[in-house]
Amino acid sequence: MEWTPDPDALGQILTLLRESQSANTGVQQSVQQKLEELNKFTDFNKYLIFVLTKLVSEDEPTRSLSGLILKNNVKAHFHQFPPDVAQFIKMECLSAVGDPSPLIRATVGILITTIASKGELSSWPELLPKLCEMLSASDYNICEGAFGALQKICEDSAEYLEKSPEQPLEALIPKFLQFFKHSSSKIRSHAIACVNQFIISKTQALMSNIDAFLENLFHLAMDEDPDVRKNVCRALVMLLDAHISSLIPHMNNIIEYMMIRTQDNDDNVALEACEFWLSLAEHPICKDALRPHLPKLLPVLVRGMKYSEIDIILLKGDVEENESVPDRNEDIKPRFHKSRHTIRHEPMENGVGGGASGGGDEFPPDDDNESDDGVEDDTSLSDWNLRKCSAAALDVLASVFRDDMLPVILPILKETLFHNEWEIRESGILALGAIAEGCMSGMTPHLPELIPYLINCLKDKKALVRSITCWTLSRYCHWAVVLPDHTYLKPLMYELLKCILDSNKRVQEAACSAFATLEEEACTELVQYLGDVLRTLVFAFKKYQAKNLLILYDAIGTLADSVGNYLNKEEYIQLLMPPLIEKWNILKDEDKDLFPLLECLSSVATALQTGFLPYCGPVYQRCVSLVEQTLNQTLAHAQNPEQFEAADKDFMIVSLDLLSGLAEGLNGHIGDLVQNSNIMRLLFQAMQDSMAEVRQSSFALLGDLTKACFQHVAPCIPDFMPILGQNLNPELISVCNNATWAIGEISVKLGPEMNAYVSIVLSDLIFILNKPNTPKTLLENTAITIGRLGYVCPTDVAPLLQQFIRQWCISLRNIRDNEEKDSAFRGVCNMISVNPSGVVEDFIFFCDAIASWVNPKPDLKEMFHRILHCFKEQTFTAVWSLNRSMSNSSFSMKCARELQCCTAVLLAYTLSITSNAGFPVPSLYNSSLLTQHRGHVLHL
């Protein structure tokens, strides 16, 4: 029996649907509540589909809204629909695919694909055949509606279509290809979009028809419809990655075509085409394929970087002074905690350490404002647009062609950088920044002229020119930093400081980010200017609106990371701390603006060391409170998810990181604060949290507290060590790294009592050390921790020496001299003393690792000497015995020569270890003797 709606009920639902379109928030909330109550009635969804598909007397927006409400219900609980309701909805959807209204057809298509994405394709066997049949309908509306639904299904259910035993794509893809030449551009666009969904996955049904696909694609290359051209470009970009061999015979023509499309009047087409250059740059053929086209391509890309008139309107490019205009909430992107302190102990190579990211070198530069939900508002540019894509393409091509690009790009830069139109001049400055990384070597001779030009551009009357100049200067600031006498560094720094106080918010943002990059590069070179830098940054607190305050925090934190304890002067502390503490007191615990402030304070506390003592009490207590609140809310939500919201764990992570900064900076002075708080109990809970980032920060704090006040950590070791052992999982690199580092710190403090826990961690540490492709920092930390375990418990670790000694030596030969390396090498020496046979087969690697030392402590040098002397004596004895027993054997002669060569190597090490000149690493490491006999030493 056919279902018919009750007129009264239908009238009530229509009233609600109309009212829901009201601009009044109160009315909308009331309607929403009533709609949720109606969901309790099983036939409610029948009414919704009836309004969408049958009630043609109603206006289209109301009908479409009914379908969208039904779509949400399907998404939320379709499997709970009674079978008759589900079947009724499916039947009505198919009957309305060809509705005369494009809006209703689109809504029906969305509803169909939502049902399909809930796993219903397998239980709706008639859907695909029916839609495929509709493609051949003479009625345009039916054909277009079916194609619209199929395109959405291909987008949302591609994996099912590829893996279905029925192999529907074997019929669908040839069918789609037939419509590439359809008279309707909308149909042509649908057809290409459907096929495009299966390029990257290299679906067999498409690969079997690849020649026909390409033929049809090339036929549409000059199509008059922009959507068709956009989908053609998208297909070619994806084919580069999935099936480049099919394009190579046509590559020259494709490149010419894509250059034309990159200049398309339709920005969406141009953007899709511009992606081609980014993809091509990743392929080995790029250099040979593009070289002849560079003179044409590079001007196209630089022109693509120019702001359009609409861009300038959206960016309010004609507004020069806006510093007093408060930021709207939608102007500020959502903040997520991204700490510079959660990866503990990054061993430095050759005396150079990594700095914190100030964010100033982000590429391409950000020139948009997004609303909080990621959707553009009417005053913003798209997050990814032709300007950014063109700049990114120039950047990657510069990395491919390097200085070979300069003969082409330099004349373009000369023309644009000195152009009368500021928009073109601005695009030239962006292009100059884009090539910085790839062409730095060739650009260096030009920088004495270009850097002063750019510094002068910081005074340009146009804010957009000043802001992009800040970014470009950040890309070249390393060159200015390394020159003696601060010839360029000083003017660069002072002009950036002026821009930090610019009256335009966009310039403030760009200058602050660029200065953070300069801080990273210059480090202690800024010490002599610290007073001026701090006065400027502190004054910015009074000028900045909410968005730029977040960037200002980052610049201050990066400064603290870069200059370290040079910041610990009373004059600087009195400048810096009052405004930070003022902001600290204003912000509430639930305010996400706390994230950047806490990150900043973490760096400042570490740098100020005891200079932070007057402020540490309240900061410490609030961090502990935030951790406790988050843990309590997490527990409450787990026990009663309907009553309590899930906790935002970023509050806990950022608080743990600031506590780490306090522990690192205050060292033993933090002991009283720890003693009078419940942080160890909270840390025990946080170390077991389900979120990896929480555990990562927890282990970092545990290691820092171990170093600073082990007396408060020691009682908890029996509880903490099993948790640390459980987190030695190299798949979670940062968690594993911090757990490993914390184990090493505990070992040094706990001493021989660590033997109770060696069995919990050692096998996992050895596995990590020997695992292929283990990240370098994790390898080094793991090697150091194993060495430290051997330092305090040599008899427990030494029996397994042969399992890890080679990789251990390789991992630590390149890190600079420091306390961690010292304790690790003492440990391995102790283990060799206990189990000398464990190192015999890989002794040359041990010698090589010793040679990496520049200036070991005298007692460590003596340990090396004893081991090397012992092995040298044994080798001479072996050579003598071998010569006597096999004096007439050619094998004897060969072995003797090899042993004598190896002995000479060891003797060289022994002599170098007793010399005052240190270890001749390069000459010894690269010697042919060492290279020839690496595989032979002591094997006999």
| pLDDT tens readout for residues 589-628 | 888 888 899 999 999 999 999 999 999 999 999 999 999 9
- Across the chain, what does the average pLDDT equal? 86
Least confident piece of the model among 435-444, 674-683, 712-721, 883-892: 883-892
- Is the per-residue pLDDT at 320 higher than 90? no
pLDDT digits (tens, 9 = 90+) for 680-710: 999 999 999 999 999 999 999 999 999 999 9
Res. 902: pLDDT tops 70: no
Q: Are 647 and 634 in contact (CB under 8 A)?
A: yes
- pLDDT exceeds cutoff 80 at 353: no
Q: What's the predicted TM-score (pTM) here? A: 0.78
List Cβ neighbours of 581 (8 Å cut-off, separation of 6 or more): 615
Give just the sign of the alpha carbon dihedral 745, 749, 752, 753.
negative
Question: Of the candidates 274, 237, 269, which has an alpha carbon nearest to the alpha carbon of residue 259?
Answer: 274
Give CA–CA dist 687/336, Å, rounded. Answer: 21
Average pLDDT, integer, range 39-44 = 83
> Is residue 121 very low, low, confident or very high in pLDDT (cuts 50, 70, 90)?
confident
Quickly state the pLDDT bin for 928 (edges 50, 70, 90).
Answer: very low
352 confidence band (pLDDT: 50, 70, 90): very low
Predicted confidence (pLDDT) at residue 56 exceeds the cutoff of 70: yes
Q: 872 near 907, Cβ under 8 Å?
A: yes
Q: Is the dihedral of CA 809, 737, 793, 817 positive or negative?
A: positive
Q: Which residues of 495-531 are buried (b: 16+ CB within 10 A; e: fewer)?
A: bbbebbbbebbbbbbbbbbbbbbbbbbbbebbeebbe
Question: Are the C-beta atoms of 822 and 791 separated by less than 8 Å?
Answer: no
pLDDT of 813 reads: 87
Residue 873: predicted pLDDT: 75
How much is the pLDDT for 77?
Answer: 83
pLDDT, tens digit (0-9, with 9 covering 90-100), for 186-231: 999 999 999 999 999 999 999 999 999 999 999 999 999 999 999 9
Query: Nearest 5°: CA angle at 810, between 806 and 813?
Result: 130
Cα 489 to Cα 526: distance, rounded to the nearest angstrom: 9
Residue pointed to by tokens 């003492």: 826
Percentage of the chain modeled with pLDDT above 90: 68
CA dist 352 and 780 (Å) reads 15
The predicted structure's pLDDT at residue 379: 40
What average pLDDT score do residues 243-261 get? 94
- Mean pLDDT on 369-389: 56
Which residues, 6+ apart, have CB-to-CB distance to 476 below 8 Å? 433, 436, 440, 443, 447, 450, 451, 454
Residue 364 has what pLDDT?
59
Q: What per-residue confidence (pLDDT) applies to 918?
A: 41
Residue 346 confidence class, pLDDT cut points 50, 70, 90: low
E-state strands within 690-749: none
pLDDT at 900: 52
Instruction: Name the β-bridge partners of 349.
Output: 352, 815
Q: How many residues does the chain have?
A: 940
Tell me the per-residue pLDDT of 833-870, one tens digit each, with 9 for 90 and over.
999 999 988 988 998 899 889 899 999 999 998 988 88
Q: Residues 803-813: pLDDT tens digits?
A: 999 999 999 98
Q: How confident is the model at residue 331 (pLDDT cuts 50, 70, 90)?
A: low
What's the confidence (pLDDT) of residue 852?
87
Residue 262 has pLDDT above 70, yes or no: yes
Q: Give the SS3 label for residue 185.
A: helix
Q: Is 80 exceeded by the pLDDT of residue 884?
A: no
Cα 468 from Cα 491, distance rounded (Å): 18
pLDDT at residue 908, as a whole number: 54
pLDDT at 367: 57
Cβ(740)–Cβ(782) below 8 Å: yes
Reported as a pLDDT band with limits 50, 70 and 90, residue 924 is very low
The pLDDT value recorded for residue 160 is 86
Non-local (6+) Cβ contacts of 425 within 8 A are 416, 417, 418, 419, 465
Structure confidence at residue 549 as a pLDDT band (50, 70, 90):
very high
Residue 831 pLDDT more than 60? Answer: yes
Does the pLDDT at position 334 exceed 70?
A: no
pLDDT band at 363 (very low <50, low <70, confident <90, very high): low
Residue 921 confidence (pLDDT): 38
Residue 364: is the preceding peptide bond cis (ω within 30°)? yes
485 band by pLDDT with thresholds 50, 70 and 90: confident
By the 8 A CB rule, do 474 and 430 touch? no
Q: Looking at residue 528, what DSSP letter applies?
A: G
Q: Please say whether the dihedral angle defined by the alpha carbons of residues 328, 329, 333 and 336, taken in this order, is positive or negative.
A: positive
The residue-averaged pLDDT of 357-382 equals: 43
Q: What is the pLDDT of residue 359?
A: 37
> At 731, which amino acid appears?
E
Instruction: Specify the higher pLDDT residue, 167 or 905.
Output: 167
- pLDDT tops 70 at residue 883: no
Is the pLDDT assigned to residue 923 strictly greater than 50?
no
pLDDT exceeds 90 at position 165: no
State both tokens at 440: 């730095």
- Kindly report which listed range (371-380, 583-592, 876-885) carries the lowest average pLDDT score: 371-380
The larger pLDDT score, comparing residue 470 to residue 362, is at 470
Instruction: Give the integer Cα–Cα distance in Å for 752 and 749.
Output: 9
* Residue 325 CB neighbours (<10 A): 12
What pLDDT shows up at residue 926?
A: 39
pLDDT digits (tens, 9 = 90+) for 266-299: 999 999 999 999 999 999 999 999 999 999 999 9
Average pLDDT over residues 575-579: 95
Residue 362 has pLDDT above 60, yes or no: no
Give the tens place of pLDDT for each residue, 25-40: 888 788 888 877 887 7
What pLDDT sits at residue 431?
Answer: 97
pLDDT digits (tens, 9 = 90+) for 733-771: 999 999 999 999 999 999 999 999 999 999 999 999 999
